[in-house]
Amino acid sequence: MKEQGWQIRVRGQVQGVGFRPFVWQLAQARGLRGAVLNDAEGVLIRVLGPVGDLPEALKTQAPPLARVDAVEVSVAVFEALPNRFEIIASGEPGAETRVTPDAATCPACLEEIRGHGRRRGYAFTNCTHCGPRFTILQSLPYDRARTTMAPFEMCPECRAEYENPADRRFHAQPIACPTCGPRIWLEVGGQEVPGDTLALAVARLHAGEVLAIKGLGGFHLACDAANPRAVAELRARKRRPAKPFALMCREGDLAQIVTVSPQALSALKDPAAPIVLMPTLGTLPANVAPGMTELGVMLPYTPLHHLLLDAFQGVLVMTSGNLSGEPQVVGNDEAREKLAPFADAFVMHDRAIARRLDDSVLRVDPPMVLRRARGQVPGTLPLPPGFEDAPQIVACGGQMKAALCLIKNGQALLGHHLGELDEALTWEAYLQADADYAALFDHQPQAVAVDLHPDFRASRHGAERAEREGLQLIEVQHHHAHLAAVLGENLWPRDGGKVAGIILDGLGLGPDGTVWGGELLLGDYAGFERRAWLKPAPLIGGDRAQMEPWRNALVRLDAAGLSDWADALFPKAPREIARQMAAKGVNAPLSSSAGRLFDAVAGCLGLCAAGQSYEGEAAMRLEALAARAEASPQIRFAGEGAEIDPAPLFLQLAEGGDAAGLAYAAHEALAEAFAVRARAFVQSGAAQAVALSGGVFQNALMSQLMAEKLFDIPLLTQRQIPANDGGLAFGQALVAATKLET
């Protein structure tokens, strides 16, 4: 018998978040007949009877982890519906909906593991409001059989919770308990150590040992952050002499190590549970974050973390389990092989990790995402007005901080941080991610967008894929992609007019064959004009100039007529050979890079002059030094036209003075030089706003100075998408979409 009723389609982040039991409860309260299921497009509801306020309730009362993009209601005729309202099995596999990011342990589950019930002390406690999602998902729709929880058959008690629509674990796919779920153990030398795992682990941490701990998206290496010898040992083993370590502690311990603002605490307690940068109080050993004024801290985000920190009663270093430069280790056997030189013992578990995800990193003042990863991925972003009908596109990103972006159905999926593609294992992870996202989201692109630089591995891969699959290849200039990324994040309409884009970063190939990195662009998604730039200087030794600041200092000092001071500053450096290379243009491409300018200033001030132990160290130390300034000289760069000459800055550095004040002055002078030119474009009507992008704007001081100087001008900044190359693919995709449709 056919019956007429209503079909309600819910689109968004609605799978794996308890949405079906939520719908069931709404239907029960309204006395409705029908059914709800997951399918390839999201959640589908079939209803007999007056729907009343049900569509509105689906939006306004949704579960904590849900994100509802659209609720579509239409009249439908059904062959047969149940005599009551039921939750039925998922439809066919597919991928027209979002996948939920992993979420930190919710308060209810936390209370449970600290209580006296059957999940007391259980390290894999979760419910529909928290726990693993993307890191265990193997295919869509999101059901247990398609996750790495499939091998764990539910016990009768868990099955009863899973099947009870009134229980908060109803259809919680990772549901588990000590009887039927994964387990933890401590092992040394490949052998399990008998006893209480947490007690054994805590004893070793207090003894100054380094532990490898399996988490959601991979392994961490942990040690006692208050023990300088343990921290030093971890640095030596990991070959990471200076890069700041991330920390993990309980909320109650935060005030002992950092200054906690309400905004920072809110970010820490978000379900994404990111690492948040906060001002240090200087109470931990200096070798936790050498030369820095901030610490990167996260709260425990899994039951295992909570149980460990409760027992440890202190602050832990919690850094990625990998050799510096390589991707994070995820498998048990892989960990035994690769982390054995680093770790004295392993805290293992037997739930497989489907995909590796680093911890996300952000700061709240000013707000910005520095690394988009666990807890944020694979959340999607809406495309700006005018891109609703954009075709499916895959964008390949850049060489550094690589990430992929897929456009489909008016949404952009910006993938997780992968890293530096010159590293072989990171390259493997990149290729895996490309295939993984394409399969997981049923993506069938019309075009591939790549960076203009032909030697980027991502660009070569994109070109090969386009040729192999018969797709259109679209090359996008590096800084145009940065400009489009900040426009897109701010939902700048496709026809919104041109903006003045201040793009400051490390490097990007310009159409003129030089290396750009300090530019003022006038443009939009469709194109750009380069209207101002830093005076170019040779990158002596090419890529080596990125790691040895003395090279950048030498050419800037020589250009300012300060060769004698350069000789005094860098007496052991091969200066004459370097100068010959610069003069002849041998492996010394010209560059307008703002990043290399900051390296030069750092080198002049004695910061990492001979070499950096990690990317961005010199600039980060320069920013930290500037933060200590009490006063600073006023410096203005030379040049009234398009070319901005920083020579006056180096003349001031040569005169000497307070190092912190000079570091601050360098930031202020660079901000002023670009802000005054960008302001003029807006005031003349040539631009509608000013947009800031590029890795230099992850420097909090630089962002703050620019905002102060443009306080009365419409200003577009990046908050959800990294301003560095982690956001490049998003911009590439938007530029490519514009070119395809014009």
**Residue 237 appears among annotated catalytic residues:** no
Residue 260, number of CB atoms within 10 A of its CB: 16
**Residue 20 appears among annotated catalytic residues:** yes
Whole-number Å distance between alpha carbons of 75 and 657:
76
Q: Which of 9, 11, 30, 38 is catalytic?
A: 38
Report phi then psi at 556, rounded to 5.
-70, -40
The 3-class SS string of 50-63 reads CCCCHHHHHHHCCC
Does residue 293 contact residue 286 with C-beta atoms inside 8 Å?
A: no
Does residue 126 contact residue 176 with C-beta atoms inside 8 Å?
A: yes
Q: Which of 20, 144, 146, 494 is catalytic?
A: 20
Does residue 400 contact residue 296 with C-beta atoms inside 8 Å?
A: no
198-228: burial string, b at 16+ Cβ within 10 Å, e else: bebbbebbeeebbbbbbbbbbbbbbbbbbbe
DSSP string across 184-199: EEEEETTEEPPS-HHH
Whole-number Å distance between alpha carbons of 110 and 309:
13
Whole-number Å distance between alpha carbons of 630 and 608:
23
DSSP 391: P
* 3-state SS assignment for residue 432: helix
Strand partners, 337: none
* 3-state SS assignment for residue 319: strand
Q: Which residue has the tokens 């007391």?
A: 120
Sheet holding 472-476, edge to edge: 380-382, 411-414, 405-408, 393-395, 447-451, 472-476
List residues with catalytic annotation: 20, 38
